[in-house]
């Protein structure tokens, strides 16, 4: 079955950087939309960034200019570069993958066919 495995999370101070990876198995990252989502304690899961099959990225307003979503087709891996981290970025980060072509990438995690188990990002002030 399809597996998405996130890694790269950790604890950093405000202003620091991390790069999250989402390695896919039995799934081709170049084929359909993929996205990154996050969930902080006591809050709903929210969209962070999406990337469609053409390479067009969208970002939540809260991360624009600081986070960058990308993929490496040869490694079959999705990435999220997190720069200028803030304490409010603290959350569990999840990647998600679609299994069909859509006119636009979904912004809700529940609409994706596949999701990973998450990697924790903690930002201290």
Query: Can you tell me the distance from the alpha carbon of 14 to that of 34, in angstroms, rounded to the nearest whole number?
Result: 27
- As a whole number of Å, the CA-based R_g of the chain is 13
Give pLDDT tens digits for 9-29. 999 999 999 999 999 999 999
Nearest to 48 by CA among 14, 77, 20: 20
Give pLDDT tens digits for 36-75. 999 999 999 999 999 999 999 999 999 999 999 999 999 9
Whose tokens are 């989402």? That residue is 22
């Amino acid at each position: 079955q399809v597996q998405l495995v996130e890694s790269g999370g950790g604890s950093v101070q405000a202003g620091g950087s991390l790069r999250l990876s989402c390695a896919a198995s039995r799934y081709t990252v170049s084929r359909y939309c993929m996205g990154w989502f996050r969930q902080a304690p006591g809050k709903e899961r929210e969209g962070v960034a999406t990337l469609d099959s053409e390479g067009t990225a969208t970002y939540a307003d809260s991360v624009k200019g600081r986070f960058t979503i990308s993929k490496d087709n040869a490694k079959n891996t999705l990435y999220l570069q997190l720069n200028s981290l803030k304490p409010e970025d603290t959350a569990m980060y999840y990647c998600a993958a679609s299994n069909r072509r859509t006119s636009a990438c979904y912004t809700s995690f529940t609409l994706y066919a596949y999701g990973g188990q998450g990697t924790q990002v903690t930002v201290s002030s």
